[in-house]
Amino acid sequence: MLTIVAFVAALGLLIAVHEYGHYRIAIACGVKVLRFSVGFGRVLYRWKPRRPRPGQDTEFVIGVFPVGGYVKMLDEREGPVEPEERDRAFNTQPLRSRAAIVAAGPLANLLLAVLLYATVNWYGVEEAKAVLASPVAGSVAAASGLRGGETVEQAGFEGDSLHAMRSFEDLRWLLTQAALDGHDVRMQFVREGERGRDEAVLPLSQLASREADAQLFRSIGILGPWTPAVLGDVMPGAAERAGLKKGDVVTAVDGKPVVDGQQLRDVIRMSVRDGRPASQSWRVRRGAEALDVTVVPDAVQDGTATIGRIGAFVGARPEFVTVRYGPVEGLWKGAQRTWEVSVLTLRMIGRMVVGQASLKNLSGPLTIADYAGKSASLGLTQYLMFLALISVSLGVLNLLPLPVLDGGHLMYYLWEAVTGKGVSDTWMERLQRGGVAVLLVMMTIALFNDVTRLFG
């Protein structure tokens, strides 16, 4: 139920903001707006303002299907217009006014994203501290000399200035951008018990993968923040058979010291050899007592690989910090994050078009609904960040030069500005059909990806 409510609320807000952008600039340009609709299909509710704007008689409508919306303006191409109102029709407006009205919808979504990110920055959010877990064996991080337990203070692209890493999410975002864009990352960190600051360079430009998935982060080697190697709830399985209990701290496996939960998880995963799990000798601290325990993980199938599992949660909650910014800095950070997400979205779309990135990156309504429910269950700040991300995506996608989108209409106006004449009706019809076909293909792929992710 929470998923449905969160999804519908998100769609309603983002669509309303998008259409309000069109509506508000149309009013400012003197265009008469006939209807403002959020949703399609049968009308659930309609009303008119008691005190309408001068020269306006707009009907506001909420439709039964909240999957889109529209602003219907007075237009000679859609019906007869009285001579005295012709100067208030959309099609009679100067080119700059028509372009401003069309662009206002996507820009409204981008502005909403700035405000949402800024609100989170002002309110503050609990995020994991930028302390690194043990790197994955054979990864870029491991080859760069990282061992786990490093507190990253500053990081940035190699050759650029470094920025403070207030949380692990700051670092994860930097690594994502660097890996997808082919940049190396330089980071400065301190290790517990050691004096002075160390530095490492992660050559992420050498990674062959350009997909923002779990495999990319395994290649980088930094999967999450540092957590102690302590056991959580123990379920039926290898851990229970070995006599392990919740709260046990694992200090060594087969004589090798265990630094953190990530290292222990990797040791368990890699315990399967030739389809059979190998016996492991664990050194465990239970309160003030030290125990030696023999553990034989269970072999389970994970996709195409066979890995080890023990039937217990491994790793405790990482150390968290509250990340909060002042009024001006919070707003600037919100604008900066909106710009970065917009650029990253465009680059990923470009890579998918030229075949450098998989179409599996496309997500549809099922995935969005799933994320809406999950983010809402985690609290207000997580839900606001989800809304900001979807708002950026909606704004960027609508600016793409596809004929049925706002970007397509801006493309027509660019042609008109260059040639001095509008696109002919014949070409307009052809382009519209092509745009609909492209959108249908994209929607089909996105829905297929949704079903594969959620039910595959």
Half-sphere exposure of 220 (CA within 13 A, CB side): 32
Total number of residues shown for the chain: 456
Q: How far apart are CA 277 and CA 273, in angstroms?
A: 6
Cβ atoms < 10 Å from Cβ of 191: 16
DSSP SS3 for 127 = strand
Cβ pair 185, 204 in contact under 8 A: yes
Sign of CA dihedral 336, 117, 121, 386: negative
**Which pair of structure tokens corresponds to residue 304?**
């195409």
* DSSP β-ladder status, 298-302 and 289-295: unpaired
Q: How far apart are CA 379 and CA 367, in angstroms?
A: 19
Cβ pair 238, 311 in contact under 8 A: yes
Q: How far apart are CA 252 and CA 284, in angstroms?
A: 7
Q: How far apart are CA 158 and CA 20, in angstroms?
A: 42
Cβ atoms < 10 Å from Cβ of 437: 11
Q: How far apart are CA 211 and CA 232, in angstroms?
A: 32
Cβ pair 232, 311 in contact under 8 A: no
The one catalytic residue among 19, 84, 85, 416 = 19
Closest Cα partner for 187 from 176, 174, 206, 173?
174
**Which pair of structure tokens corresponds to residue 191?**
């290790």
Closest Cα partner for 54 from 86, 74, 28?
28
Is 19 in the active site? yes
Q: How far apart are CA 114 and CA 342, in angstroms?
A: 11
- Give the catalytic positions in this structure: 19
